[in-house]
Amino acid sequence: MASCVAFMESPVCLIENTDGNLSVNSEAVEILMGLYQPVVVVAVVGLYRTGKSYLMNKLAGKKQW
């Protein structure tokens, strides 16, 4: 059976923080269940406005003008 997701257009959060409560994103679980190749998990943390989004976009190969 082929993978249900060949390419994600944008990163998907596996863990969500809603009002201080952590939960698993069911959409992300469905995507992961359909993958049969190795997966890389990346987490970036830091203070407000210190380049986290910039770094993640670079890792994902996205260009923003």
Token pair recorded at residue 34:
């359909």
Distance linking the first and last C-alpha atoms of the chain:
39
The answer to whether residue 5 scores a pLDDT higher than 50 is no
- Enumerate the domain spans of the chain: 15-60
pLDDT in the model for residue 60: 81
Q: Which residue has the higher pLDDT, 63 or 13?
A: 13
In the beta sheet, which residues pair with residue 21?
Answer: 18
pLDDT tier at 7, thresholds 50, 70, 90: low
Q: Of 61, 22, 23, nearest to 40 (Cα)? A: 61
Is residue 21 scored above 90 in pLDDT?
yes
Question: CA distances (Å), 7 to each of 10, 35, 48, in order?
Answer: 9, 10, 30
State the Cα–Cα distance between residues 36 and 34, nearest whole angstrom. Answer: 7
